[in-house]
Amino acid sequence: MTTDSSSNHDPPTGTTITLTRETNWWVAKDEETGVASQGKSRQEALENLDEALQGYHGDGDPPSDEDLREMGIDPEHNTSDSLDDSEIFD
């Protein structure tokens, strides 16, 4: 998964990562979790997958208010609740 062997987030032995070339993008996918990411190079796809897996495993950083505003989300009205309570995911 990671291109840095000294990383604390190295996958356990036996983890399967697939790399697929799609037109102008490389797609890296962790077969165990189904988490996927892309990049313009294999290196970038793997680095992006590392970041996505950190978020999947709860190791990522929460977005700042500025990050939320850039995504069109009003931080004052942003709440985190169970996905089971969301009508969007019905």
12 part of a folded domain:
no
- Residue 51 and residue 36 in contact, taking contact as beta carbons nearer than 8 Å: no
For the chain, the domain total comes to 1
- Here the tokens at position 46 are 């793997």
Assign 56 a pLDDT band (cuts: 50, 70, 90).
Answer: confident
Structural domain range at position 39: 17-77
53 part of a folded domain:
yes
pLDDT, tens only, 13-40: 678 999 999 999 999 999 999 999 999 9
Residue 13's identity, in one-letter code, is T
